[in-house]
Every structure is written in C-alpha cells, then in structure tokens.
Chains A and B, each alone.
Chain A
Amino acid sequence: MPGKLKAKIVAGRHLPVMDRASDLTDAFVEVKFGNTTFKTDVCPKSLNPQWNSEWFKFEVDDEDLQDEPLQITVLDHDTYSANDAIGKVYIDIDPLLSCEAATVISGWFPIYDTIHGIRGEINVLVKVDLFNDLNRFRQSSCGVKFFCTTSIPKCYRVVMVHGFVEELVVNEDPEYQWIDRIRTPRASNEARQRLISLMSGELQRKIGLKVLEMGGNAVLGYLQCFDLEGESGLVVRAIGTACTLDKLSSLPTAVLPACNSPSREMKESPLAQAPSHGCRSSHNSPVHSAAAASARLSQGFSVSVPTLIFTGMGSGGSAGKDGGPLKTLLRQQTQSALEQREFPFFTLTCFPPGFLIHVGGVVSARSVKLLDRIHNPALGNTRSYKLLDWNSFTADEPETRDAWWEEIRQEIKSHAKALGCHAVVGYSESTSICEEVCILSASGTAAILNPKFMQEGCLDSYSEHSRLEDPAPPSCGFCHIPYDELNMPFPAHLTYCYNCRRQKVPDVLFTTIDLPVEATVMGKGSLIQARLCRLKKKAQGEVNATAISNLLPFMEYELHTQLMNKLKLRSMNALFGLRVQISVGENMLVGLASATGVYLMALPAPGGIQIAGKTPSDITYEQHISNMQKKINDTISKNKDLYEVHPQEIIEEVIGSPIPESRQRSRLFRSHSESSDEVSELDLSHGKKDAFVLEIDDTDAVEDIHSLLTDAPMPSGFYSCNTEIMPGIYNWTSSLQMFTSVRVFRLNNVNLTNQGLNKIFNDLCENLLKSLYFKLRSMVPCCLCHLNFAVAVPEEELIQVAVTAVAMTFDKEQAQENFKANMEKAIMKVISENEEQLQFPLELCTETPAPQPFSPSKGTGHQDGGGIHTSARATSVDYSSFADRCSTWIELIKLKAQAIRRGSIKTTASQEKGSPLPEGRSRSLRCMRPFPSSTVSVVKMTPLSFLPGTRIIKYLGIINMFFIRETTSLREEGGVSGFLHCFIAEVFAMVRAHVAALGGNAVVSYSMKECVFMENPNKNQAQCLINVSGDAVIFVRESEAEATAAAPQTSSMQNLSGAAEANA
C-alpha cells in the first residue's frame, strides 16, 4: 500500500442551469479513484456552489496511481428521478508521483461533457503521499520522468543515454462492444475516454519499468499514439529514449563538458563560411533493395514495402587513408556500446554538441498489414487458420502488433547498417488505417554517435580522449559520410567537405532531425513540402493491401523527386526534420512530405534546374521550354534573395581545381549514374557547371514543373520551417502564437485523374498556408516554426489536413545589427585582441574585411589542392600536405570562431539591456498581468521545446490528454466548423487548466497527435476525437532570471542548450 491520494473539492462556478423551473442547479460531486467513490454534499440552488469538502482519501497501490486517473463527476441532484450528470474532469496524477515535478494539483478545471462540451468549472485540490517501496519485483515505475521534448530538457544534463524503449497495449474498443448498442453516446464516449486514459497510464508505467531496468530515470522524446483499428480493437503504443538525467544545479560547473568543444562556436560565425568550390548536384533516389518481401503470408497477410533511403551521395577517392581507420575505430567503440541493444534507435531530434558524429541519411520502412476482421472472441478459437487473431484469443495479447513493429524496426536497422551507421536518430513511428488496411511506417536518420554518451562513468576522461582522436572538424563533422565510399549501397556524388576539405560529403543531405547546433548554414531556411495524391481502385482484403503496397514505392519516389526539385529551386542542399506521411483512404492514397531546407556550408552549392526537351526540332516547343527555363531561373534567383542564400560563385571559379578533379574521378567510379554533367555543360545561360535536368517529355516532369511553379512565395516578413529552430534567425522576441487549423475538403468530382487530384491537394495545402500567413499578418516579421501538417482521408472524397504550429516574432533590425556586430567583433578580435570595448561598430564596412583573413590560406589551399590533383591521378594518394594546410586552416577558423563566440555573447547581452523594444514589450505584459478581476493565469503553448526570451526552470510532468466530443445537433452548433472550432478551443482550455493547476505557465513540445473527425450531416451528427500531449513547465523571463542569477550563471545557462542560445 504505497500511496495515499487525497482530493478536496472546493467550489464550482459558471455551472449550467439544470433546473429549468428555478433557473438554478443543485450540484454535488462524485470523486472516484479505482473502485472507491466519495460524494460531496449537495449545494442547493446555486450556479456557483461552494462545497469546501473534507479531504477524500484513497489508499492505493502506486501501480494504480500510475494507471488510473482521478475521476471527478459533477451532478445535479434530483429528488425524484435519476441525478443528471453535468460533466466530468479526469486528472492524471502522474506528475505528483515524481518528487521533482509538481507537489500539488490545485486550480479551476473545466467540467467537460462529451455531448455539451465545457459546462462550468470546478476548483479541486489533489495531493499524493508516497511511501518508499523497496520491493524489487514491483510493477510500478513511479518517479521515472517523461518528456515529450525531443531534445535534452533545458534544466537537466544527460548522464547517459540508454536507448530505445517501446511498448504497446491493446484492448477492445468500447465503441465496438455489443453494449454500445444499448448505452447512450455519452456513456460510450466516457467509457472510451476512460479506457484510453487507463491504457496510456499502463503504457507509461510499463515503459517506466523498462527504463528502470536499463538503469535510467527518464524518457525523452516520448511519443504515444493511438491506433483506432475499429472492430479489431484499440492499440496504444509508445516509443521513447531512455536516459539518465541529472538536475542541473545553477553552478557553472554543471555545464556539459562537450559544450566547450569548438563545435559550438562555429554556428554563429559568419566567417566560418568556407568558400564554395565547384558546384555539383545530382538527384539520387535509389530504390533500396526491396527488403524482406512478404515471406510471412503464413502469419496472415503482410507486405513489406521496398523502402527508399534518401541521401545525397557520391563516390570518390580514398579518403579512407585519412578518415577510414579512425572511422572504423570509432565504429568499434560505439558498436560495443550499442551492440547489446536490440534497436539502437533514438527518438531525439536535437542533441548535445558532439553527440552526432556522422549522419548518413534518412532511413524509412513501411509495411501494409491487414487488420483482423473477427470481432467476436468466441469465434476466434475455432478459426485456427487465422494467425493474426490477437484479439480473438484474449483481448490483451499484443503479440502480433509487437511482431509487426519488430519487423519494421529490423528493416530500419538493416537500412542504417547499409549506410554504414550503427544508430538511428530522430526516429518515429506512425500508422494510417482505413477500414481493415493499415500502413505501418517508421523513419529516422541513420547516424554514427559518439560513444561517450552511451557509457557511464567515463564521461569526462572520455570526452578528452575522443576529442583528441576525433578527426572531424566539428562544425561539419556530421555532414561527412559515415559509409565506406568504395562500398556504397547506391550511386551518389561525393565531394570534399567545403568546410574542412578533409573528408567526403554528399551533395545533398536529408535527415529527420533538427539542424545540429554546430552546423554552419548560409541564409535562412525554408519549409519545403512535397504533395501527392494517387487514385486507387476500391478493393477488399488482400487485393487492396497488394494494390496499396504496389503504389507506395512510386509515391515515395515521386515525393522524393518533388522535394529534391523544390530544394534546388531554393538553392539549398540539405533537408532537416523530414517527415513523410502516406495516408490511405478507400479510393486514394495521399502523401505529404514536409521538411526544412537549408544551405549547409559544408555541402557543395546545388546546381540549378535545367529543363531539357526530347524533341528539339519543334520551335514552339523550344520556346515553351525556354520560357519555363526562364521562369525557373527567375524563381531561383528570387529565392536566393529571399532566403539570403548566395554561394560565392566567383571564388568557386578560381579555386575550383580540387573538386572538378574529384568529380572526374567520381565519374569513373559511378559508371551507371545519370549523365547530367554532359547535358548541363551545354547550357551556358546558367552560371552553374551542372544542373539538375528535368526532361519535359516526361509527363511526370510536366507535373513536377507545374508543382514547382505553383508554389506561391511567402508574403514578405514571413518565414516558415517545420523544425525546432529556424536556421538564420537568432533574435526572437517574446511574443508567440500557437495555433491549430483544420480543413476538410470534399472532392465533388468523381472522375478525377491523378493530375487533377494532385493539383487540388496542392492548392489545398497552399491555400491553407496562405490563410495562416494572412491570419498572422499582425505578427510580421515572424516565422512559423514546427509547422506540422497531418493529412488524413476520413472518408471517400474527403481529405483532411490539420496543422499545428507556432508563430514567433523576431526582430529584423536587430538581426542585421547582430550579424554585423558579430562580424565586426570577430574581425576586431582577430586583428587586435584588446579592443573589446567596441560594441556596435555598425558604421564600418563589413564586406571588405571579411574575406581578407581567408585569402592567404585560400591561395595556398588552391596551390596545394592542385598538387593533390596531380598525385590523385596516380593511384596512391598523398594527402599529407593538403591535410596539413587544412588543419592549420581549421585552427584559424577555430580561433576566429572562438573570438566570434565571445563577442556574440557580449553583443546579445548588451543588446538585451540596450534595446528598448523587447524590454518595453515585456514590461507592458507585466503591467497587464495584475488585471484586477482576472483569476485565470496565462498559459503559453508551443510545439517547440523552448520559449524565446525565457528560461524553463522546472518540468512539471507530461500532459497527455484524450477527448471525445459528439453532437446530435450539428446545425445548431454552427455546422461542422462551429463544432470543431469549439472543440479545439475546449481542448486548449483543458490543457491550459491542467498546466495551471500543476503550477505551470507553459506547455512546451505540444502536439496534437490525433484529430479524428467524423460527421453525418444527414443525421445532424458529428463526432471528433483529439489526442494532445506536451510537457508542462514553469518558465521565467530571461530578464527576470538575470536579475536573480549572477552573470556567470546566465552565461552558463546559455551554454547549456543551443536552442536557448539561438534565441537569446
């Protein structure tokens, strides 16, 4: 009996009128936990009852504490008939079970009814007394902290990353039980809400147990999903990354040792931009070996879909001499750490500097499954030929679902291996279900990780050790290829890294993670989306599943092509946060890939897009092509200005020698790769040596071009990305607006072609974005961050798109000032270390001195490069002199970067104090807070893991809520839009109330993971299910924090996280 739960019902307000005669309500409250129920007295004839109840005490197992929610029901007392329910509040008491999180839950909760929505509020106090349980065989896992955040939480330090944890639980869906035919919709909805709440509690507890087994104390990047499989049941599954976290004391010594590595410094350094050499681009979308085709038909129906691996690659000489042995060494070390793990997966997307050593590319796997059709458990046993019947035997036998995911994860693992990587980061799983067909998807980024985070104890000694032998220049290290270039799984272009010139990099890099803090980018990032619809014949069972699995590889290929085209159109060379969703409907598949494009300094500049016709004889046709070409070229140059991406082309021409050389060689190696070089060299109109060729005869290409050109430009003052941080924006101001927008489109035209459908879907997404920009126009200049699109095909002819994102304002003027000031600082530091007083040397011209420190080294680099080339032609390669040069050059950059870093911190600090704008804003906010009559505290919500201009000082626990709302008076509630608008607002309100009751003032890493909307306008009915999650936190404003903390502490806090720093 290790826990005592105490609850007290204080008061209610704004209750609905339940007695028409008196226009009042006789309210009382039932408090239920497990099987125990307490009741308050009836508070007669009041809409604002004061119960002030005693403390209701529940003595319970901590296992139950984790699984069960506290259920509070508000009722209207009726002497003669049954009491009417007003509504319910479910309180997840998990946050009270961890000693570091909240200690009491106290506040106003909206009273929620699944039919009427919010009906008044109730003030509740909840406390838990936990007794220590030393039982080794306990089933509870109290105290394990859960975070939705996919990075290291701001006030913690990672002692050790243990790795992947997963679990799933299944049950019958109450909506499909026989009893549902006789009970009211309200009872059915409440049964469902309660069941899911129980299941997620159980799931969390089980995962917690696994974490404890591994020796961890926390789960980061906790991702929980529901699969509503209809008649075959309800699956709640979760994945996460087990870690051992240490609460940071505010002492500066608690800073991660890795923070001192120069890698951090590179990020802010404008001078660290290496001049681009040569230019090359290619399009690789090799279909990676159709892994493990369905040999499992004996186990029912299972199709494994050939999977694509997105990477930019190439081949090249033997850098192996330099990097090879070290790489193997590294691999050995990490392998030992990761070997014993079944799945070396990490759900994190943002890592401490030095964690990622190399990134291979995106790995993904999809599998189409048929859900079991048997819903009557009695029948299951007799039909022995069915092996998929997990629920025909007992309702909670998750074996099959486990096996399915196991299969997919194995595939992901093997893909990662093929890329020479031992780990997968930014890993996530999802499903799309339509009737009995289910697509399981998993994706992540293959990577090589630094083993020091995997081994306990030797953290400090190791970090020094590894830094000594780590050959990669840190800022570009992650771009370097992890695989053996002589033994690549598919053809690709490789060049020497444009930053360090020592190792090979691919020409494009696709990842599912956030931009590493150490990455050097040019200009700003941009949201890039590929959208695609494919019609499919209506079918049943295995035929349907086969049809879908046949379509999938083509969809992936096309999405990839679109992404690549759009990337080139923006002159960018890398994608971060890539998320490919494929949703299945009865008669179509919808694919949506979103990512944030950036220009990585370490990667080669992308070529343009070249349109080529197959029949050059026709003059009008040629004109058409040249028109298109012109349009594309215009768009490219416009985009370059918009995103401030200006690769230094002139320098390329001068220094081009080492790279073209390697290109020649690479051409020898990749005999079977496309011959874009020859074609593009004919084109002199475009500045680039080689471009990406689109052949227009191809109908697909026409489509591609069309979709390229119809992407409307963003209105000025707006930027957008789907990652945590927008590359190129570092000076966020504090105002932010989280929002959810949902649209459902009906396709009235039955005879649609694929093209027509594509255009509709494309327009739909574009219009939605346009609407968002318009809505948020008052926030300009602003950036839409973490734009998360979710597509679904809820019914035939319906497409649903749900977007959740946050709009954050930034200071445009300050951006330039900062940049200039940084530059100036750097230069001043380099020239004379003593001139530290210069704060804003804006009047100085920044352009001319910038390249100067580089020019001598460039010159020598060029000469040496030439030298290498002659030797490179011979089979034996000697890099020593070049490497020598490079390393001195790197030293120079490091030095400068350090200088810049020091400078920049000072600049931001001084500007925080100096600039009147953010100060004024925060002050005015503070003035507003003590508004006399308001009892509601403001709760901010954001899908990001941080709030600009603030410091998170405490994590209060995970918020994971599931709501159902139903109506039988759809028209009266303003139609489907009115219904959903109200419901989403209610969900926000309930999330805010729970956070406020925990004592928090914000939700970070918020996401709406499920929004299932069903309507039946003929019956005037609609139903919607929403699942949201996030981390409740307490934040303080940076300026307030500064007032309390000493200066060195703040700077150490700034070092803690790249994200926070990027926003300082």
Chain B
Amino acid sequence: MSVELDVFVGNTTIMDEEVYQFWLDGYTVNDAVKVRMEGGVLEEYEASTDVLLSDTMDQFRTFQMCERLLHTPAKLANQLLFQIPPHRQTMLIERYYAFDNAFVREVLGKKLSKGTKKDLDDISAKTGITLKSCRRQFDNFKRVFKVVEELKGPLVENIQQHFLLSDKLARDYAAIVFFANNRFETGKRKLQFLSFQDFAFCAGQLISNWTVGAVDNMVEDMDVDLDKEFLQDLKDLKILINDKDLLDQHKSLVCTALRGKTKVFNEMEANFKTLSRALVNIAAKLTNTKDVRDLFIDLVEKFIEPCRSDRWTSADVRLFLTYYTNSARTLDTFRHQVTWDRYMDVIKSCILKMYHD
C-alpha cells in the first residue's frame, strides 16, 4: 500500500517556523524529517515517521507555492490564495530574505551576475550551505539590487518599502547593494578576519557620509554612488604629508597630547609619519575606481596591520585617531577642515570597527 496523494489545506495557512527554516536552508524533505525526528517532536506528540513525513511534505509544498509571492513581498499582503495573518507574513518575508553570514561574505562586493552564480557550487562546498539555499540568497541579493538600482530616494527606505523588511535587514541589504555596486574587494586573505557585520557597518558609514545622497537626497543612485566632487576634494589633503612643516607640526601636536596616555607611545611616535602618509594617500587615491575597490584592503595593509604588529589596543587606536583628526583642525595653514572631517570621521569609525582579531 502506498500513499498516492496526501494534502492538507487550512483556511488559515499553517506554517511551522522550524520547517520553514529547513526549507529555507535547502533541506530535502527526508533530511528535514530526520532532523525533526532527532528534535524530539515525535515523542511529544506520539507521531510516527509517516506523520512527520506527510506534514513536512505538505509544508514544503506550501512554501514552494508561496515562493513566487515572496519574490515580490508586497503581493503577499494582497494576494487571495493564502490566508496568512499579517505577523506570519512578516515572519515569512523576513526569514526568506535572511541570509547566512558565511555566504554573504563570499559574494560581498562581487558583481551579482550569472558568472558569480556559476560559482555558487564552490561557495556551497566551502561554506557547507546547501546549493539551494545559496541560490535563494544570491537571487535575493540580485532581486533587491535590480529593484533599487534605478530608484530615487534613500536606499534603506526603498528596500524597506519594496521588500517589507525590518530596519536591520534593510540596512544589511543596503550594504550588500552598496558593496556590489562599488565592487569593494572583500575576498582577499588579509580581509578574512572581517565579518559581514564589520563591512555592513562600514557601508553604513560610507553611505551616510560619502555618497551623493549625503549632500543631496533627491538624485538617482544617491546612496549607491560615491560623491565624485568629494573624492576630488580629497586630493587637497595631500598637503598634510607633502608640506614638511605641516607634517611635523601635526606630529608634535598629536605627540604632546598623547604623551603618557598610552603604552605604545614610542611606537606611535616612530610610526606617525608612515601612518599619516598611509591615511592621506588612501584619501588622495580614491578618485580611481580601482583604488576605491581596494579601500578596505588598503586600510588593513597600511594602517591596521602596522598598528597590530606594534600591539596597539583598540583603545590606543581610538586615542590616536581622535587626536590625529582633531589636531589637524588646529593647524593654522590647513584649509580643508570640512573635507578632512568628512573623510576622517568615516575612516576613524571604519578602522575602529575593523580593528579586532
């Protein structure tokens, strides 16, 4: 005897969050049943494997039917096929658009193209995330990217409006879109210690301070493209390292202020010029798209790694950057205060976020 057909349809669509997660994670029905059995649902409800199998199949089928709607979450709210309570709809959407940090680290900054999609097999093998789940996550990134690409207005709000995501998740997606658009390099070995959240934070900083949107909030791509004028202005900061007087003055101001306040004072004093040069050079090079892509690798190689080899603590870094930024303002001959602050505020918070093991 075999079950030829087995369906259960509720007037209110029944969805088990646990099973939904299995489906999202790309489990096969049988694997999901296995995991559920180990989870002990069986003993609690005296259910047999058949019961669990039937339930899992049913739910997987439901999710599959819903998937089409989840691609345009706004539809979920006014479709008629499934009667799903609003809080459940929110859950469905939020979970569908959730992603694995391990996966997003692999694709962050890459072009969301067919080429990348072909590499998903490798990513799946590397991260242990099922290919099905990888595809879903990748397609989500791509879908969000396509929709917001040509929209006016703030990126996060656009994402929230079109995909009904929570604020947190919308911000993460904004970061992904921002990274994909500017193609920041994140995959190098030296950057492996950084988590997605580190990058997401940096993206947030960049979006709110360096993009076109930071000055004008009604242009297309305002939150995706960096402010070209600002990048051009950054070249003016070179005076800080090219003018010897200014460099010495800057150094002495910082050293006076920090003396006795940090254990790595000597290392700091010795490296001041290298570090300052590194930071200003990074700024000056940002007019090249190529160098924009290398922003994070540059920050790591030229600033974070030297500090780390001198065993600076993050408190040391914070102290240094604070005084480094502030004392430049007091330099008499330095006229680019506004650009300097706009640059350094972001760089400082990014470095502080990235300065960990």
Contact = CB atoms under 8 A, between A and B. Distances in A.
A621 interface: no
A767 interface: yes
Interface in B27-81: 45-48, 50-52, 54-55, 57-58, 61-62, 64-65, 74-75, 77-81
A715 interface: yes
Interface stretch (A648-656, A658-666, A733-741): A733-741
A740 B8 CA distance: 6
Interface string A404-422: 0000000000000000000
Contacts of A777: 45
Interface stretch (B10-18, B176-184, B280-288, B294-302): B10-18
A121 B78 CA distance: 10
Interface in A106-136: 108, 110, 118, 121
B166 to A, nearest CB: 15
B23 to A, nearest CB: 14
Given A14-B79, A774-B47, A974-B61, A749 B7 contact: no
Contacts of A738: 10-11
B1 A747 contact: yes
B189 interface: no
Interface in A707-721: 712, 715
A743 interface: yes
B5 A1013 contact: yes
Contacts of A13: 78
A988 interface: yes
Nearest to B13: A985
Contact of A941 (B11, B55, B77, B79): B11
B265 interface: no
Contacts of A14: 75, 79
A940 B5 contact: no
Contacts of B87: 928
Interface SS of B by simple majority: mixed
A931 interface: yes
Interface in A904-949: 928, 931, 933-936, 938-941
A989 B85 contact: no
Contact of B164 (A108, A749, A928, A933): A933
Interface stretch (A285-293, A534-542, A976-984): A976-984
Given A744-B5, A977-B61, A936 B14 contact: no
B13 to A, nearest CB: 8
A784 B77 CA distance: 29
Nearest to A942: B11
B78 A981 contact: no
Contacts of B3: 743-746
A833 B61 CA distance: 61
Contacts of A798: 4
B10 A981 contact: no
Contacts of B4: 744-746, 798, 976
Given A748-B1, A1013-B5, A737 B80 contact: no
A744 B6 CA distance: 7
Q: Which of A939, A985, A988, A989 has the most CB of B within 10 A?
A: A985
Contacts of A992: 11, 80, 83
A993 interface: yes
A610 B1 CA distance: 34
Contact of B77 (A771, A931, A984, A1013): A931
B323 interface: no
A939 B83 contact: yes
A6 interface: no
B156 to A, nearest CB: 18
Nearest to A925: B85
A817 interface: no
Among B10, B57, B164, max chain A CB count under 10 A is at B10
B57 A977 contact: yes
A387 interface: no
Contacts of A938: 83, 85
A986 interface: yes
A775 B46 CA distance: 12
Contacts of B5: 742-744, 800, 976-977, 980, 1013
Task: Output the residue of A737, A798, A934, A984 with the most chain B CB within 10 A.
Answer: A934
B82 A985 contact: yes
A988 B80 CA distance: 9
A730 interface: no
Interface residues of B, number: 42
B309 interface: no
B270 interface: no
Interface residues of A, number: 59
B260 interface: no
B74 to A, nearest CB: 6
Contacts of A748: 1-2
B9 interface: yes
Given A770-B48, A775-B55, A928-B85, A742 B7 contact: yes
B161 to A, nearest CB: 10
A972 to B, nearest CB: 12
A739 B3 CA distance: 20
B86 interface: yes
A974 B50 CA distance: 19
A741 B52 CA distance: 15
Contacts of A931: 77, 86
A770 B86 contact: no
Residue of A742, A771, A941 with most partner-chain B CB within 10 A: A771
Contacts of A771: 8, 50-51, 54-55
Contacts of A986: 81
A879 interface: no
A942 to B, nearest CB: 8
Contact of A121 (B52, B80, B85): B80
B48 A981 contact: no
Contact of A739 (B11, B46, B77): B11
Contacts of A739: 8-11, 14
B9 A743 contact: no
Contact of B1 (A745, A776, A800): A745
Nearest to A759: B1
Nearest to A743: B6
Contacts of B48: 767, 770
Contacts of B61: 974, 977-978, 981
Nearest to B46: A715
Given A741-B8, A933-B164, A934-B77, A770 B83 contact: no
A773 interface: yes
B50 to A, nearest CB: 6
A746 B80 contact: no
A988 B45 contact: no
B65 to A, nearest CB: 6
Contacts of B11: 737-739, 940-941, 988, 992
B1 A746 contact: yes
B215 to A, nearest CB: 31
Contacts of A764: 1
Contacts of A980: 5, 7
A994 to B, nearest CB: 11
28 contacts: A110-B81, A738-B10, A739-B9, A739-B14, A740-B8, A742-B5, A742-B6, A742-B7, A743-B6, A744-B3, A744-B4, A746-B3, A771-B51, A772-B8, A775-B14, A775-B55, A934-B78, A935-B78, A936-B79, A976-B4, A977-B57, A981-B7, A984-B7, A984-B9, A985-B9, A985-B65, A986-B81, A989-B81
Given A740-B8, A936-B78, A936-B79, 16 more contacts: A108-B78, A738-B11, A741-B9, A742-B6, A743-B3, A744-B3, A746-B1, A770-B48, A774-B55, A775-B8, A777-B45, A933-B164, A939-B83, A974-B61, A977-B57, A989-B82
Interface of B: 1-14, 45-48, 50-52, 54-55, 57-58, 61-62, 64-65, 74-75, 77-83, 85-87, 164
Nearest first, the 10 A-B pairs at minimum CB distance are A931-B86, A744-B5, A739-B10, A934-B77, A738-B11, A984-B9, A981-B7, A744-B4, A741-B8, A941-B11
